[in-house]
Amino acid sequence: MDAIASLRASANSSLLPICSSAHRQPSHSLIFSTSSSRVKDVTRSIRCSVSTGRDVNSPVVEMKSYAEEFAGMELSSVMALSPLDGRYVQKVMDLRPFFSEYGLIHFRVLVEVKWLLKLSEIPEITEVPNFSGNARAFLESIIHDFKFNDALEVKKIEKVTNHDVKAVEYFLKQKCKSCPEIAEVLEFFHFACTSEDINNLAHALSLKEAMNTVIYPTMVELCDAICKMAKENAHIPMLSRTHGQPASPTTLGKEMANFAVRLSDQGKKFPQINVLGKFAGAVGNYNAHKAAYPTIDWPSIAADFVRSLGIEFNPYVTQIEPHDYIAELFNRVVQVNNIILDFDRDIWNYISLGYFKQITKAGEIGSSTMPHKVNPIDFENSEGNLCLANAVLSALSMKLPISRMQRDLTDSTVLRNLGVGLGYSLLAYKSTLQGIKKLQVNESRLNEDLENTWEVLAEPIQTVMRRYAVPEPYEKLKELTRGKVVTMDSIKQFIEGLDLPGEAKLELLRLTPHSYIGEAEKLAKAVDDAVDLANGFKLL
């Protein structure tokens, strides 16, 4: 099944006017308008008028209307309402088989078919005998051969039923009339189910599959890229900046290792999240099940069925599975996103300081007016999209676990946006990865900053003075350094005047801002010991 290729926007979707003006614009403004928002009227000419103090309705240029072309064409990226399906579609297309409406319908079909197969295996339900191999193969083929046109057929039925899950049931009944064995038991499609029995499992499957096949591999790729930055630059000294001010030196690699380890630590927590499903009927009590077949142990049947789909069973539910696991999952993704956002901002600052150069690409333009500029657009793009991702994911995690009494419908429409927050996340990860590939360390700039900040050696000097009980070490270094120009000569002159053992004094005289890096290099080189990309970043 080529699910991605088959996902296309409906050509019958409502047409979008280019723009409309609600009031008279200022002089010299350019106004675009359509004569009507109704589809049958959009084919009228779109007029472009330049207002120069006369009637703006007097056309200067008659523009051709493309409404008729839009009506018969696939959705173009320039007509998409969301940039995820427009400008950035190529970067997030891998999520479409899971979170598009096509994907949701496909997973609903899967659950409905699997439930009928399960019913055929229950001895007490004699009305649904065990299916032959041919009948089972026929049902399985509906899942595996599900195509774009099948989804359109379901949508066509929905126009009549005005109920999306019932449309899937009717679609399956139509599909199976050609198989005599299944045609005899068509009414057992959706048997004893409420719509949410189907929906919650469909959403659970889409989330689990999308996370494991698309989101997590990209997270791992990004974490691995930062690990490589840590190891390759483990030895390169860099001036730290706390509160934006010069601070004790580190190494460039050690600062990258910090982010890799933080991401890995979050990745280890994903397998602890149980993807849950329910299958207990209208209010979670198997009421209809028990009425039809009183002797069957329905809770055990439901648990076995849900687990057969690779989802953990939740026995205590209302009409809906309460979605707590989705909130937990998305909160964890938000934390990963926060770490990447922190990384983006740090790299942006390092580029601003000149610590990194960016490899240029032929033909690429940084600024429309300043030819010399190479802007850190990838990290800015990532930061902006992480902001949107976290806003959506946080909203979902706060809303979904709340439902009035046995249920209300607010979760239904909200759940259709699962792919939005993850889509913006995926887009951000790919932008950060793209930005990393352009980075080139500027060692001369790093060395220049270190050479100009000998005052950072005030910390080790006063610490050694404390060891040897030299009075008021902090105060003496404060007097030497604060608000003053500190040079190599002034530091060495101060050290030579201290009452310290010869060996201690010699060690201090050997120190430079470049060598005062503590264990930073070792920590950066050992990053692989702290990062685990094999056992994390997965939903079990």
CB 194 within 8 A of CB 502: no
The label of the residue with tokens 């002034």 reads: 490
The 3-state secondary structure of 402-468 reads CCCCCCCCHHHHHHCCHHHHHHHHHHHHHHHHHHHHHEEECHHHHHHHHHCCHHHHHHHHHHHHHHC
| Token pair listed for 423 | 């889509």
Integer Cα distance of 96 and 88 in angstroms: 13
Nearest to 326 by CA among 536, 102, 539, 103: 539
CB 171 within 8 A of CB 155: no
The label of the residue with tokens 């049947």 reads: 301
Give the DSSP H/E element, type plus range, for residue 31: strand 30-33
CB 71 within 8 A of CB 39: yes
**Pairing mode, if any, of strands 276-277 and 312-313?**
parallel
Exactly one of 77, 141, 352, 367 is catalytic; name it: 367
Helix (H, G, I), strand (E, B) or coil at 30: strand
Compute CA distances 233 → 17, 248, 522, whole Å. 52, 18, 11
Residue length of the chain: 540
Neighbours of 345 (CB within 10 A): 14
Integer Cα distance of 415 and 280 in angstroms: 20
CB 117 within 8 A of CB 139: yes
CB 196 within 8 A of CB 320: yes
Exactly one of 243, 368, 372, 444 is catalytic; name it: 243
Integer Cα distance of 297 and 229 in angstroms: 57
Neighbours of 163 (CB within 10 A): 13
Compute CA distances 44 → 32, 38, 66, 275, whole Å. 13, 11, 9, 52
Integer Cα distance of 32 and 49 in angstroms: 7
| Token pair listed for 267 | 């990745």
DSSP 34: -
Angle, helices 195-210/164-176, rounded to nearest 10 degrees: 90
Integer Cα distance of 59 and 152 in angstroms: 42
**Catalytic residue flag (residue 367):** yes
CB 366 within 8 A of CB 375: yes
Integer Cα distance of 430 and 254 in angstroms: 23
- Catalytic positions are 243, 367
